[in-house]
Amino acid sequence: MNLSVLSSHPALEGQLRARLAHFDVRPLPTEGRRHAAVALVVVEEGLGADLPALASHTHWQDRPALLLTRRADNLRSHAGQWALPGGRIEPGESAEVAALRELAEEVGLALAPRAVLGRLDDYATRSGYLITPVVVWGGAARELHPDPGEVASVHRIPLQEFLRADAPILNQVPGAEHPVLRMPVGEGWIAAPTAAFLYQFRELCLRERPTRVAHYDQPYFAWR
């Protein structure tokens, strides 16, 4: 995929939608877990990442990006961590409806159902959640209004950043059958489960390489 194409160009939206439409999504049984949905939102420009290693890039403007947040410091779990907009699926909701609702509640971005491009694979966390990732076309997303009770900051991370040669980072930890997956961003990294969704999005949507990620583990701090 040519990432120099402006994301407002319909070709990019069409390519993402087509690749997701042909992907054989693997759902997982809930099995007593709390079911949640997250939104991977493609937006128009990659400025505003607020990451030191990205600050030197002067040509990100009008390049496609993903919308990520930092969780508020006062949250009971995973405070301050990187996250995708999302939350619990309410009774009667589909994952798509829940992802759009949470996106509007957390960052103030209200989108119509047609903005949904498709799903990625479910991921079961060690903390008791089953998460369904939903890929969404966010367009310009110029006016965002994050909920301060849930979101400390909102970041637009250029898609090119997820194509780094040093991604993903895999390492084994005691007690884990499979490697822990992390995605480098700027001078730091993002941990699974968020990193698992980012990596599958990169491989499927940007490189057209269908890849499974549900087996990758999470670092210890995400186990609770």
Q: What is the pLDDT of residue 28?
A: 97
Answering whether pTM is above 0.85, one says yes
Its domain, for residue 16, covers: 10-161
**Which tokens go with 55?**
């600050």
pLDDT value for 150: 86
Pairing type for strands 116-119 and 86-88 reads unpaired
One-character DSSP codes across 122-185? -EE-TTSEEEEEEEEEEET-------TTTEEEEEEEEGGGGG-TT-SEEE--TT-SS-EEEEEE
Within a domain: 212: no
What is the bridge-based pairing of β-strands 129-139 and 34-43? parallel
19: in domain: yes
Q: Residues 119, 112, 208, 107: is their CA dihedral positive or negative?
A: negative
Q: Does 46 map to a domain? A: yes
Q: Which stretches of the chain score pLDDT less than 70?
A: 1-10, 46-62, 72-80, 220, 222-224
The answer to whether residue 175 sits within a structural domain is no
Question: Which residues are bridge partners to 137 per DSSP?
Answer: 42
Q: pLDDT at position 149, please? A: 86
pLDDT recorded at residue 224 = 63
In a domain, 1, yes or no: no
State the pLDDT at residue 174.
84
CATH number of the domain at 157, please: 3.90.79.10
**Distances in whole angstroms, Cα of residue 21 to Cα of each of 16, 133, 215:** 9, 14, 23
Is residue 167 in a domain? no
* 188 beta partners: 185
Structural domains in the chain (count): 1
C-alpha distances out from residue 159 to 6, 68, 198, Å: 12, 12, 10
Question: Could you tell me if residue 172 is inside a domain?
Answer: no
What pLDDT sits at residue 220? 65
Kindly compute the dihedral angle of the four CA atoms of residues 19, 144, 131, 25, in this order, to the nearest 10 degrees.
-10
Q: What is the pLDDT of residue 53?
A: 47
User: What tokens does 40 get?
Assistant: 């991977």
**Residue 73, pLDDT score:** 54
Report d(CA 8, CA 198) in Å as an integer.
21
Is 59 contained in some domain?
Answer: yes
